[in-house]
Amino acid sequence: MTKLSNVGSIGVAIERVKEQLIPKIKALCPRPSAVPRPAPVVAAPRTRAATTGFDVVAIGSSTGGPSALREVLAALPSSFPLPSSFPLPIVVTQHMPPLFTKQLADRLHDGCAISVREAATGDQLAPGLALIAPGDRHLVFDRKANGVTAKLSDAPAENFCRPSVDTMLRSVHATFGGRVLTVMLTVMLTGMGADGCKETGLLRDAGGYVIAQDEESSVVWGMPGAVVHAGFSDVVVPLEGVARAIVDRVATAGSRPARPRPAVSV
């Protein structure tokens, strides 16, 4: 370092110190802009099975879900270009406490051309029928000789939720494989939830198709946002476009009766 005795003034000494030390400090301590930042979330190429038809539509929703479900389910029969009634069964997990899900199902039934009811153990999945998971019960499924039936589960909460979208989708995956059209409508009350995201990715890899509601039309963009950021969504649409997206995809891929498979219980 330059000695002060060799410098004509304190000001010159300070300048010499700056000239010699600052470059060394900079070399040892990179500027914040040089620190690597996390890369933006980009969907990596994923291997997925080919989809030739769907057996079921699975819907997960939370905050804002009741009104979103009303808009989507009410639009399905009237806008579908193939049969007059919607050709697939629909299963729904909406985060709500007990009693409220029964009231929701009744209101939706009155306002939709399809049938809507709160699920009960033994209910058979059928085209044009939407089953909604009861509050505080998981909705899972059994495959029997005569078709697929609903079953209610008191298993522990998943993602702090019962009913849980992930629990329902995992059972859908075990029962139907990839032949599922997964629709994420809206989000958790806190806006921090990702219920449904993990299993949505597995369903998509198995050949499922994923529709996510966009951020602008969501009350809170938690659940659909998690699906989008994870790279699991096939299409992101506003709420008013969800029913149309379902219709278009089912019309393109077609629907088909479930093929006989070994009975499963999840």
Distance CA 175, CA 258 (A): 10
Closest CA to 87 of 249, 261, 259, 263: 249
CB-based contacts of 111-114 (< 8 A; 24+ apart in sequence): 111/70, 111/74, 112/70, 112/73, 112/74, 112/76, 112/77, 113/74, 113/76, 113/77, 113/78, 113/85, 114/73, 114/76, 114/77, 114/85, 114/86, 114/90
Exactly one of 61, 62, 218, 255 is catalytic; name it.
Answer: 62
Exactly one of 55, 123, 166, 195 is catalytic; name it.
Answer: 195
Q: Which residue has the tokens 């499924």?
A: 141
195 assigned to active site: yes
Q: Is 37 exposed, middle or buried (0-12, 13-18, 19+ CB in 10 A)?
A: exposed
62 assigned to active site: yes
Structure tokens belonging to residue 250: 């089912």
- Are 72 and 138 spatial neighbours (Cβ–Cβ below 8 Å)? no
Indicate which residues carry an active-site annotation.
Answer: 62, 95, 195
